[in-house]
Amino acid sequence: MVSQPKTPPPQGDVDVSSGLLATTIVVTVLCVLLVAARFATRIWLVKRVGWDDWTILFACLGHPIGMSLVIVQIHYGFGRPAYYLTPHDFQEFMKYAYGEWLQTFATLTFTKISICLFLLRITITKAFIRPLQAAVAILIISNIVISLVWILQCTPHLDKAWNNKMPGKCFSKGQLERIIISQALISIISDFFLSAFPILILRKVQISFRSKVGLCALMGLGVITGSLSIVRTILNWQNVTNDPTWISIPNWYWRSWEVFFGIAAACIPTLRPAYKWLVGEVTRIYSGSASKRTKPSDNPGSKWSAPKPSAQVPSSEYGSRGKKFSDTSTDWTTITHEEDVLPLQNFEPAVRAKAAAEEFPREKRGEGKGAYPTDGQGRERRIGLHIPGDLSTNRPGHFKRLDSEARVGGGHGAEEVEDRI
C-alpha cells in the first residue's frame, strides 16, 4: 500500500489532467475505428471472420473500460500532486489504478494472442505452427498468473491495496515493481518475436522482394509496441512512488500508446484487402469519368475501329498462339501468346486450353496417344496456361490453387498469402 506524501512538491499544485483526458479519448477512438474497419473488411470483402478477429475485439473492449477508469482517476486527482488531494480522493484513485492495471494486462494479452492466431492463419508448416501455438499458451498462462498475483498483493483483505486502514499484509514496493517488470518482459519478448515471425514465413514465398518487404513491414509493426514497452519498463519505478498521481504520468502515456500500437499492429495488415478494393474503386471511377470526357462526337472526322491483331496470320495455318504448325512440327520453343495475336481476347486458362485442343487435336499435331509436344530440352509443352510451383495449401478445408506470381521451385505466391490475410 502506497502512502500519501506528507511534504508539498516543489512545482506546487499543478493540474495536467486535460492532456490525460484527451489522450485516453483519442487512443480509444482510434482503436475502435481500426477494429471496426477490420471487421468491415472481414465481413463484406473477405467474408470470413476468425478467432483472431474475435480476440482483437476483446482487446478493443478493454479500451473503453480503461478510458472509463482513467476518467474516474482524473476526477479523484490523477494529473495533480497527491499532496493536495484529500485522503478519500487519494484512496479512490489507488482503487481505480489497481483495476486499470488488470485491464492493461488483459488488453495486451488479447492483442498478442490475436496476432498469433493471425499468423497461424497464413502458416501451413508445422515448424511454424508449433511455436505460435506455444506462444499462445505461454501468453494465456502468464497473464493468468500475473493477474492473480496482482489481485492477491494484499492478504487477507484485498482492499488493503488501496485502503491503508484495513488489517493485513501487502507486497513491498519492490515486489510490486517486479510484478510489472515481469509482465513487461513477457510483452517485449512476444512483441519482437511476433514481429520477426513474418520474415520467416514469407522468406520462401515466391513473390518479389518489394512485396516481401511491404508485407513484413505491415506485419512487423509490433516492433513499435516492443520499443514503447522498453521505455515503459525503464520508467517502471514511477508506478510505485509515494506520489503516483503525479510522478507516474509519463509512464501512463507510454503505456497507453503501447496498448494502441499493439492493436494497430494487429489490425493494419488485415486491412490490405480493403486498401486494394478502395484503389480499384477509385481507379474505376476515375477511368469512367475520363472516358465520358473523351467522346467520339468530339472529333466528327474520326471514326472508331476495332484494333487490329498484331500479326496477320491465316487461321487455317496458324494456331491460336501464333506459331505455324505442320504434321511433323513439335518444336514449340517459341510461342506467341494470344494477347499478341488477338489483343481483344482475355481467355481464362481453362478456356484457352479447351479452345486450343479443339483447334489442334493430337493427331493434327503429330503426337502419339498420351504424349505432348516437347521443346528443345525435352520438356512437355502443353497448350493452355500452366504455371509451375507447388501452391497447394496442404491443409484440410483449403482448395489447391495456382498463382500468377509463382516461380519455378515451389513455394506459395502472393495471391495465396493474401487470401489467408
Report the distance separating Cα 359 and Cα 342, nearest Å: 15
Angle between helices 222-234 and 249-267 in degrees, nearest 10: 160
The pLDDT, as a whole number, for residue 213 is: 78
The pLDDT, as a whole number, for residue 84 is: 93
Collapsing DSSP to helix, strand or coil, 174 comes out as helix
pTM for the full model?
0.69
Q: How far from 33 is each of 57, 62, 150, 271, CA to CA, in Å?
A: 11, 14, 31, 12
Q: C-alpha dihedral over 241, 242, 246, 251, to 10 degrees?
A: 10
One-letter amino acid of 33: L
Report the distance separating Cα 347 and Cα 352, nearest Å: 6
Report the distance separating Cα 323 and Cα 318, nearest Å: 6
The pLDDT, as a whole number, for residue 164 is: 86
The pLDDT, as a whole number, for residue 117 is: 92
Q: How far from 287 is each of 284, 291, 293, CA to CA, in Å?
A: 5, 6, 10
65 contacts 103 by C-beta, under 8 angstroms: yes
The distance of Cα 242 from the centroid of its chain, to the nearest Å, equals 40
Q: What percent of the chain has pLDDT over 70?
A: 67
Helix, strand, coil percent content, the chain, rounded in steps of 5: 60, 0, 35
365 contacts 373 by C-beta, under 8 angstroms: yes
The pLDDT, as a whole number, for residue 303 is: 52
The pLDDT, as a whole number, for residue 239 is: 77
The pLDDT, as a whole number, for residue 127 is: 84
Report the distance separating Cα 93 and Cα 50, nearest Å: 38
Please provide the average confidence, as pLDDT, over all residues in the chain: 76
Cell of 32: 475502435
DSSP 324: B
227: CB partners within 8 A, 6+ apart: none
Cell of 50: 476468425
Q: Which parts of the chain register pLDDT below 50?
A: 310-349, 363-370, 382-414
Collapsing DSSP to helix, strand or coil, 368 comes out as coil
Q: 381: exposed, middle or buried (C-beta count within 10 Å: 0-12, 13-18, 19+)?
A: middle
The pLDDT, as a whole number, for residue 209 is: 75
The pLDDT, as a whole number, for residue 293 is: 65
Report the distance separating Cα 411 and Cα 392, nearest Å: 9
Residues linked to residue 324 through DSSP beta bridges, in sequence order: 318
The pLDDT, as a whole number, for residue 383 is: 46
Question: How crowded is the C-beta side of 321, counted as CA atoms within 13 Å?
Answer: 19
Cell of 12: 506546487
Other beta carbons within 10 angstroms of residue 74's beta carbon come to 20
Q: Provide the sign of the torsion angle of the four alpha carbons 23, 24, 28, 34, taken in this order.
A: positive
The pLDDT, as a whole number, for residue 420 is: 56
